[in-house]
């Protein structure tokens, strides 16, 4: 055999390069960037989802059937791609998919609601129920809430199946009904009640509860939602005997209720910082400057600086993180133009900090309204939603994955001011986290609004992020 030193030298260099690539590949957990075909699959799934109307009046069952069909076509067994429809609500279809692991830990569960809020085509510049690409944007109802995330999760699951990937613990994805409508048959609540064995998990990831924020094209943070404010509503009502409008009295219910509401408009609930919001302000300060940066750092201290809290309270975005809020959203009163009102009532919508109670908020409202003739009753009760632990591996895991794609972003623990399906899983003791990598402009948020859209590039990166995160969280810790 003839030896060629130069050829051998070139071979050695190639082997060294390949070896280096393999080491680098292993260092990121063998999570190569999403292949181009994965983005194409995700885009096709998104088109199908947007084009399949799933508002409350239509329901999610048709779309659930299409999701199940894709899973079965990819080789999932029928038992691992189940279509589950409540007998009394045939339009509220759900799909539960399972990628079996090696059994080293309890499953990780992804929550992905299929329904969207209504959209009036006459208000839009494009058809809200048809995916349209225009000038680097993808338009359609649900692109950002949350069919874009649904498509990324489904594409990631299909890719893992095609790669014959065996996670350490099962990956379960629940594609569910009635998150947006507050409908009669919420999918997650129903699955936990009727099919708990299919969705029981140790860790819950909810892309609907997460937030990736950017401003002016600059990526700022990837949020990890560890808690949510509890949503509830009270009715404030004043009644009187009424009478002829020519004989007015000081007991006019409209006046009495209005005076109470005026007092409420000037009231702020006391500051209540949680573990989540303290860490939020501490980490958020890293991407702020000047007085805002200083105030956030001062708010995160123990005890927090009162002057800093006062300045942060003047900004809606930070005020809602500092305290419980209650605001009037509806008002009605009177029954005839020429009659004194016999009744006036207002709806008070409240968002309650975890750790506070419905009763304590009601007592505060009674004190602030300041009139014993104003009767306060519950319209929609609060559902307890405990804070999920910040300690442990969730923040470092998200940071590891996010920094593979966006080294400059910070990872923020967040308390959601709105509500998501995580409230159901937290209530039964499952640690639940809202995590999403689809960057949306904080100054032009269009979820639930006209011409809802997401950037083409942002959607592609969401596909990459979701695949990497799904692999990472499937490891036993």
pLDDT of residue 23: 35
Amino acid 366: pLDDT? 98
**Section 288-308 average pLDDT:** 97
Phi-psi category of residue 140: left, alpha or beta, with phi > 0 → left and psi -120 to 50 → alpha: left
The reported pLDDT for the residue numbered 30 is 41
pLDDT above 70 (res 378) = yes
pLDDT bracket for residue 37 (50, 70, 90): confident
Place domain 36-209+420-473 in its CATH homologous superfamily. Zn peptidases (3.40.630.10)
- Please report which confidence band the pLDDT of residue 14 belongs to, taking 50, 70 and 90 as the band edges: very low
- For residues 249 and 185, which has the higher predicted lDDT (pLDDT)? 249
Of the candidates 181, 161, 187, which has an alpha carbon nearest to the alpha carbon of residue 83?
A: 187
| Structure confidence at residue 36 as a pLDDT band (50, 70, 90) | confident
Q: Please, which pLDDT band fits residue 384 given cuts at 50, 70 and 90?
A: confident
Please tell me the least confidently modeled range out of 117-121, 152-156, 416-420: 416-420
Tens digit of each residue's pLDDT (9 = 90 or more) over 222-260: 999 999 999 999 999 999 999 999 999 999 999 999 999
Is the pLDDT assigned to residue 29 strictly greater than 60? Answer: no
The CATH topology of domain 229-380 is: Alpha-Beta Plaits (3.30.70)
Q: Which long-range contacts (C-beta less than 8 Å, at least 24 apart) are formed by 333-340?
A: 333/253, 333/254, 333/257, 334/254, 335/242, 337/245, 338/244, 338/245, 338/246, 339/242, 339/243, 339/244, 339/245, 340/240, 340/242, 340/243, 340/244, 340/245, 340/247, 340/248, 340/249, 340/252
- Judged against a pLDDT cut of 60, whether residue 18 lies above it is answered with no
Q: What is the mean pLDDT of residues 329-346?
A: 97
* Entry field: residues in the chain: 477
In sequence order, the β-bridge partners of residue 236 are 346, 376
Mean pLDDT of 19-43: 57
Side-chain-side CA neighbours of 74 within 13 Å: the count stands at 24
Q: How confident is the model at residue 418 (pLDDT cuts 50, 70, 90)?
A: confident
Three-class HEC string of 433-459: EEECCCEEECCCCCCCCCCCEEEHHHH
Mean pLDDT of the chain: 92
Q: Looking at the predicted structure, is the pLDDT value of residue 7 above 70?
A: no
- The model's confidence at residue 419, banded by pLDDT at 50, 70 and 90, is confident
Helices (H), 128-285: 147-162, 187-194, 196-199, 253-265, 275-284
CB 368 within 8 A of CB 361: no
Residue with more model confidence, 15 or 153: 153
The whole-number average pLDDT for the span 288-306 is: 97
Q: Of the ranges 88-97, 275-284, 413-422, which one carries the lowest mean pLDDT score? A: 413-422
Cα separation, 313 vs 319, in Å, equals 4
Would you say residue 201 has pLDDT above 50? yes
The answer to whether 470 and 160 have CB atoms below 8 angstroms apart is yes
Whether residue 263 has pLDDT greater than 80: yes
The pLDDT assigned to 113 comes to: 98
Contact status, residue 462 vs residue 443, Cβ threshold 8 Å: no
Helix (H/G/I), strand (E/B), else coil: 322: helix
Q: What is the pLDDT of residue 445?
A: 84
Q: Confirm if 410 and 286 have CB atoms less than 8 A apart.
A: yes
Half-sphere exposure of 40 (CA within 13 A, CB side): 3
Residue 103 pLDDT > 50, yes or no? Answer: yes
Location of structure tokens 């692109």: 143
* Mean pLDDT computed over 177-193: 89
Any idea where the domains of the chain sit in the sequence? Answer: 36-209+420-473, 229-380
Measured CA to CA, the distance from residue 410 to residue 401 in angstroms comes to 12
Q: Determine the pLDDT at residue 21.
A: 34
């Amino acid at each position: 055999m003839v030896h060629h030193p130069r050829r051998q030298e070139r071979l050695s260099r190639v082997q060294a390069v390949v070896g280096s690539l393999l080491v680098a590949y292993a260092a990121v957990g063998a999570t190569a960037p999403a292949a181009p075909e994965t983005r194409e699959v995700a885009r096709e799934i998104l088109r199908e989802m947007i084009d399949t109307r799933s508002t409350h009046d239509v329901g999610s069952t048709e779309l659930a059937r299409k999701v199940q069909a894709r899973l079965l076509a990819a080789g999932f067994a029928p038992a691992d791609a189940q279509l589950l429809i409540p007998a009394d609500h045939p339009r509220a279809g759900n799909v539960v998919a399972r990628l079996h692991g090696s059994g080293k830990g309890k499953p990780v569960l992804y929550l992905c609601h299929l329904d969207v809020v209504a959209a009036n085509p006459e208000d839009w510049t494009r058809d809200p129920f048809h995916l349209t690409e225009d000038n680097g944007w993808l338009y359609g109802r649900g692109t950002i809430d949350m069919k874009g995330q649904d498509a990324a999760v489904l594409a990631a699951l299909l890719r893992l199946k095609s790669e014959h990937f065996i996670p350490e613990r099962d990956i379960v994805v629940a594609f569910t009904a009635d998150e947006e409508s507050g409908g009669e048959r919420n999918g997650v609540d129903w699955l936990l009640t009727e099919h708990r064995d299919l969705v029981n998990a140790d860790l819950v990831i909810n892309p609907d509860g997460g937030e990736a924020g950017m401003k002016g094209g600059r990526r700022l943070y990837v949020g990890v939602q560890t808690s949510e404010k509890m949503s509830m509503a009270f009715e404030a009502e004043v009644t009187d005997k009424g009478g002829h409008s020519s004989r007015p009295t000081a007991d006019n219910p409209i006046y009495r209720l209005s005076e109470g509401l005026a007092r409420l408009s000037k009231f702020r609930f006391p500051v209540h910082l949680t573990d989540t919001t303290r860490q939020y302000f501490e980490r958020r300060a890293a991407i702020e400057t000047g007085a805002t940066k200083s105030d956030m750092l001062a708010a995160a201290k123990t005890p927090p600086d009162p002057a800093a809290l006062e300045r942060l309270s003047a900004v809606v975005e930070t005020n809602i993180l500092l305290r419980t809020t209650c605001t009037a959203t509806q008002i009605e009163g009177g029954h005839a133009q020429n009659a004194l009102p016999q009744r006036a009532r207002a709806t008070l919508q409240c968002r309650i900090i975890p750790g506070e109670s419905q009763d304590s908020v009601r007592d505060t409202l009674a004190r602030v309204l300041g009139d014993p003739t104003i009767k306060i009753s519950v319209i929609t009760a609060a559902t307890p939603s405990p804070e999920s632990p910040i300690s442990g591996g969730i923040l470092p895991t998200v940071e590891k994955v996010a920094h593979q794609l966006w080294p400059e972003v910070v990872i923020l623990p967040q308390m959601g001011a709105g509500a998501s399906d995580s409230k159901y899983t937290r209530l039964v003791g499952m640690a639940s986290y809202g995590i999403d990598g689809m960057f949306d402009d904080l100054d032009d948020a269009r979820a639930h609004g006209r011409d809802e859209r997401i950037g083409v590039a942002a959607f592609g990166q969401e596909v990459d992020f979701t695949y990497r995160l799904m692999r990472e969280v499937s490891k036993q810790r």
